[in-house]
Amino acid sequence: MEVGFIGLGIMGRPMAGHLAKAGHRPHVVRRAKAVPPELNAVVHETARAVAESAEVVILMLPDTPDVEAVLFGPDGVAEGLAEGKLVIDMSSISPTATQTFAERIEAQGSGYVDAPVSGGEAGAKAASLTIMAGGPQIHFDRARPLFEAMGRSITHIGPRNGDGQVAKVANQIVVALTIEAVAEALVFAAKAGADPRKVREALLGGFAGSKILDVHGLRMIERAFDPGFRVALHQKDLNIALQAARELKMALPNTAATQELFNVCRALGGANWDHSALVRVLETMAAHEVG
Amino acid sequence: MEVGFIGLGIMGRPMAGHLAKAGHRPHVVRRAKAVPPELNAVVHETARAVAESAEVVILMLPDTPDVEAVLFGPDGVAEGLAEGKLVIDMSSISPTATQTFAERIEAQGSGYVDAPVSGGEAGAKAASLTIMAGGPQIHFDRARPLFEAMGRSITHIGPRNGDGQVAKVANQIVVALTIEAVAEALVFAAKAGADPRKVREALLGGFAGSKILDVHGLRMIERAFDPGFRVALHQKDLNIALQAARELKMALPNTAATQELFNVCRALGGANWDHSALVRVLETMAAHEVG
């Protein structure tokens, strides 16, 4: 299939690579850095040209304004779309903005699927991403073979555009708040004089057990704060959560508090630390380290 | 072995039953309710008499003041102890008070192990409790056969009395904050119009995956708020956490905030709801239900 791929960053590059390996031909936009030759990509001057040449256009961009600019800016995707094409936005962006973008694209006769991922750079490289998709069944079915080339756990959350983004926001809330929970527990244990390694082991067997306690708990104990997933990116996601909650008229009290703690993490110089380094904020608040 | 068992409540009754089945003879205190005949217990008039007759005395009591009264009150355990006996406190109580209790018991020539459990009534009945023990190795080794009759995952957290209680506090922090995290995520998903069942399923496969998302997340969706583990009991545990943190001079910001949310749960009439009903507080704050 002729597949447009816009956003060849840390995530997008390996994802487009898996599509190429699966026999699809990537269409990309010329950029400052050279396009990796192993993609065998067709290089275009504009997003519009990509949309004109490809049947499906995938976006993998940092944030909501980037998606809006690439879709609807001058020489953007929307200018190159025609009846029957499909836009798949795999960026993690605002669920409410996604609904608006989808309506505008569908008004032009093209389909839209939002399909944010979790699993990070490692998941992108290993083609083991978790993909959470929203949009009409017919468009999801068309996108599925592409998803299968890039991910392992693929869920069609619902038929409404934005449903995938809602699931991704929910995911980032749970991950952030569980990291914070593990951080409070391990700093408490250390400050109280117990061995955080033993506490982590004991807790893994019961209801406190989680992937976060396993992986990020160990990172906290071993002081392994190279990313992983960067504090600044998790802050972007929690910002989407809090903004959406405000628009929906609802409260996310611990998400809001945890975003504040991430602010402290950045005050400590941690924008590019792994998000498990949130423990350093709790350690500062206890004048005591876990590791 | 002649084993004193003080505290034949919802947890203590099945735990003492497993000890009896394993061939030990329980020594208990006469109480208002009849002592279950299947225990084949020796019934005494006072905790002192239990301590005089048994080699090991196990306590399974509601809170710190109960343990203090049974150990050091009139006709209490301390009055009946002699050189070489062992006190095992399986209640979930203050780690700092535990250190004081252990010092007083050890000053009399007896050993002390704190060994709180998680797993609830179901775990007590199935002899599948998670047991987190603190105290000198020699005392832990002596207690281990008794633990093996009552639990499945048994961890000697450390040689210091209170280490077991510290691990239990850490456990209760993680469980409460993860329940709160899942509640925020599912209420957000529902309010944003996505299907919380699908969101839970998608999240279980990734870094947001946890036992709490699995079990308590499903309870929230299915409105299954019969306990389980009661809100009032989890509040007791978080109170221990916050009190200990204050004594240790450290902050537990999300634990404190979540304790406040549990206060709201009780305001809604939920003292005896399962702790997963914390979701009702978030629902109230969103004017929208998950289930």
User: For the whole model, what pTM was predicted?
Assistant: 0.95
Which residues constitute the domain of residue B201?
166-286
Sign of CA dihedral B46, B47, B53, B54: positive
Task: Flag whether residue A41 sits within 8 Å of chain B, measured between CB atoms.
Answer: no
Which residues of chain B are modeled with pLDDT < 70? none
First to last CA, chain A: 50
Q: How far is A252 from chain B (nearest CA, A)?
A: 6
Give the Cα separation of B104 and B117 in Å (integer): 23
Can you give the CATH number for the domain in which B214 is found? 1.10.1040.10
Q: How far is A60 from chain B (nearest CA, A)?
A: 19
* Residue with token string 């950045």: A266
Residues of A in Cβ contact (< 8 Å) with B163: 193-195, 198
Q: CB-side exposure of B281: number of CA atoms within 13 Å?
A: 30
Same structural domain, A27 and A148 = yes
* pLDDT value at residue A168: 98
Same structural domain, A141 and A173 = no
User: Where among B160, B180, B198 does a domain terminate?
Assistant: B160
Q: Please, are residues B264 and B270 in contact by the beta-carbon 8 Å criterion? A: no
Among the listed residues B159, B166, B109, the one whose alpha carbon sits nearest the alpha carbon of residue B134? B159
In a domain, A291, yes or no: no
Helix count (H) and strand count (E) of chain A?
Answer: 13, 9
Same structural domain, A62 and A118 = yes
Cβ within 8 Å, pair A188-B241: yes
The β-bridge partners of B57 are B4, B87
Cβ within 8 Å, pair A207-B157: no
Same structural domain, B188 and B101 = no
Q: Please, are residues B57 and B84 in contact by the beta-carbon 8 Å criterion? A: no
* pLDDT value at residue A291: 85
Same structural domain, B57 and B110 = yes
Cβ within 8 Å, pair B180-A177: yes
Give the Cα separation of A148 and A135 in Å (integer): 17
Q: Tens-digit pLDDT profile for chain A (291 aa)?
A: 999 999 999 999 999 999 999 999 999 999 878 899 999 999 999 999 999 999 999 999 999 999 999 999 999 999 999 999 999 999 999 999 999 999 999 999 999 999 999 998 999 999 999 999 999 999 999 999 999 999 999 999 999 999 999 999 999 999 999 999 999 999 999 999 999 999 999 999 889 999 999 999 999 999 999 998 999 999 999 999 999 999 999 999 999 999 999 999 999 999 999 999 999 999 999 999 998
Task: Flag whether residue A233 sits within 8 Å of chain B, measured between CB atoms.
Answer: no
Task: Flag whether residue A119 sits within 8 Å of chain B, measured between CB atoms.
Answer: yes
Can you give the CATH number for the domain in which B94 is found? 3.40.50.720
Same structural domain, B66 and B210 = no
* pLDDT value at residue B33: 81
Cβ within 8 Å, pair A208-B166: no
Q: Into how many domains does chain B fold? A: 2
Same structural domain, A170 and A124 = no
Same structural domain, B76 and B179 = no
User: Where among A128, A160, A192 does a domain terminate?
Assistant: A160
Same structural domain, A21 and A124 = yes
A87, containing H or E segment: strand A86-89
Q: What pairing do the DSSP bridges indicate for beta strands B129-134 and B151-158?
A: parallel
At B187, which amino acid appears? Answer: V
User: Where among A115, A131, A160 does a domain terminate?
Assistant: A160
Rounded to the nearest 5°, which phi and psi values hold at B264?
-65, -40
Q: Which of B186, B248, B258 sits opposite A254 (nearest CB)?
A: B258
In the structure encoding, which two tokens stand for residue B213, read together?
């998302």
Instruction: Give ipTM to 2 decimals.
Output: 0.95
Question: Which amino acids of A are annotated catalytic?
Answer: 168
Mutation to test the A interface, candidates B172, B177, B247, most A Cβ within 10 Å: B177
In a domain, B291, yes or no: no
* pLDDT value at residue A142: 98
Same structural domain, A155 and A172 = no
Helix (H, G, I), strand (E, B) or coil at B87: strand
Same structural domain, B198 and B280 = yes
Same structural domain, A142 and A187 = no
Give the Cα separation of A156 and B194 in Å (integer): 11
Q: Which of B181, B192, B202 sits opposite A181 (nearest CB)?
A: B181
Mutation to test the A interface, candidates B238, B250, B259, most A Cβ within 10 Å: B250
Give the chain A residue nearest B183 (alpha carbons): A174
Burial B121-153 (b: 16+ CB within 10 A, else e): eebbbebebbbbbbbbeebbebbbebbebbbbb
